[in-house]
Amino acid sequence: MFNRRQWLFSTGMLFGASRLSGAAQNTDQAGGGSESKSGKSAPLPLTEYEPKSMLHVHETHVAKCQFPCIDIHTHISFSKKAENGVQLAPEREYLGTPQECLAVMERKNIRAMVNLTGGFDAGLADAVSKYDKAFPSRFFTFAEPSYPRFKEQNYPQIQADAIAGAHRDGARGLKILKTLGLYLRENITSGTLVKIDDRRFDPMWDACAQVNIPVAIHISDPIAFFTPTDRFNERYEELNNHPDWSFHGHDFPSNAELIEARNRVFSRHPKTQFLVLHVGNFAEDLGNVSENLDRFPNMTVDIAARIGELGRQPRTARRFFEKYQDRILFGTDATLHGDEFPQQVFNDKLYEIYYRFLETGDEYFDYAPAKVPPQGRWKIYGVELPEPVLKKVYYENAVRLLHLT
């Protein structure tokens, strides 16, 4: 008679299980997964593990969003020159043509795309003329601060004036990348880090209120990026693939310090509208995001690149959507030809996943078009938002924030 262990072994099940548990503990070993001379299997490296779900659950294909959407968070252009995380050139590098964007927009029912990284000065004017002016109401471009001028004595005023100029050039908002707080330093690319609530930026925040444009602000990152890249880190693979995304150690502030500095800016500039990207930069803790939304009436959030977080806490997320339905905007972080980052690659599949997450009650599906979930090894569940909430999230809230008609 076989006992249970022998039976499992004969069917290969135990054999497979021991390979996998070994793999989980030996993630940094190269090769493996094959029989050695002794007949003992080497561990399967985590990088080669692609489990296929055996679950039979309902699958909905949502080809188009139920209501036309505005993607408030995309990247069509970048600075031609950057150093140590600081964009230095006004000239833009375009990741794709308007026609490429329009083809996807047509198929996926996207009314408009907001290009957050429009840069400054002549580069910004160029981006606005190539996209916004050439295809009115389909593209909106945001400006960015001129960090190369940061060392100039009169920078606070220069930057405030630049906002007025950007507005005249057609910018629909200001984008703050995590450059502020995590990359910009006293000597621009070297020296001590400049804090988010540095007083030299006060005139810039006020200038945005004066010309009535929102500030889309990205500070901080997933909380796992601030903890050691070790076997306890839930985003180990992602950080292992992109070691420069870790802000653990060195002279980096903690996630809490970044959020506190950001909040001081919000309270000092109540007339400025802040769209806090990536679910208020703390999608893992919707309690924290809710507290801040309650505290700051000038704060809204987008959901870009965070359906992986929202979708693994679908009940909490749904309550969050219902409570803050007037202050959550649809965004994806879509980057043209961003194939290296499947969670934000601009293509049909990405949008279909977002629509499925928002509109259906489907269970246990991928949050990104990738063989292995790129942000962490988990799957997501749809939040099945009611129509009035969907309308607000897809476009009504964006129409209000961008003053569209």
- Residues near Zn ion (CB under 5 A) are 333
Looking at beta carbons only, is 126 or 333 nearer to Zn ion?
333
Q: Which residues of 261-272 are buried (b: 16+ CB within 10 A; e: fewer)?
A: bbbebbeebeeb
d(Cα 254, Cα 274) in Å, to the nearest integer? Answer: 21
Q: How far is the CB of 278 from Zn ion (least distance, A)?
A: 8
Contact criterion met (CB below 8 Å) for 119 and 80: no
Backbone angles phi and psi of 72, in degrees to 5: -75, -10
Q: How far is the CB of 273 from Zn ion (least distance, A)?
A: 18
Looking at beta carbons only, is 230 or 340 nearer to Zn ion?
340
Q: How far is the CB of 304 from Zn ion (least distance, A)?
A: 6
In the bound state, the residue with its beta carbon closest to Zn ion is 333
Looking at beta carbons only, is 46 or 258 nearer to Zn ion?
258
Looking at beta carbons only, is 46 or 275 nearer to Zn ion?
275
Name the DSSP class of 393. Answer: I
Looking at beta carbons only, is 45 or 85 nearer to Zn ion?
85
Looking at beta carbons only, is 333 or 396 nearer to Zn ion?
333
Is residue 110 classed as helix, strand or coil in its secondary structure?
Answer: strand
Looking at beta carbons only, is 238 or 333 nearer to Zn ion?
333
Q: Long-range CB contacts (< 8 A, 24+ apart) of 316-322?
A: 316/286, 317/286, 317/383, 318/383, 318/384, 318/385, 320/286, 320/289, 320/290, 321/383, 321/385, 321/389, 321/393, 322/389
| List of residues 6+ apart from 3 with CB closer than 8 A | none
Q: How far is the CB of 75 from Zn ion (least distance, A)?
A: 6
d(Cα 331, Cα 113) in Å, to the nearest integer? Answer: 9
Q: How far is the CB of 353 from Zn ion (least distance, A)?
A: 17
Q: How far is the CB of 257 from Zn ion (least distance, A)?
A: 22
Q: Kindly tell me the number of DSSP H helices and DSSP E strands found in the chain.
A: 16, 13
d(Cα 100, Cα 338) in Å, to the nearest integer? Answer: 14
Q: How far is the CB of 305 from Zn ion (least distance, A)?
A: 7
C-beta atoms surrounding 321 within 10 Å? 21
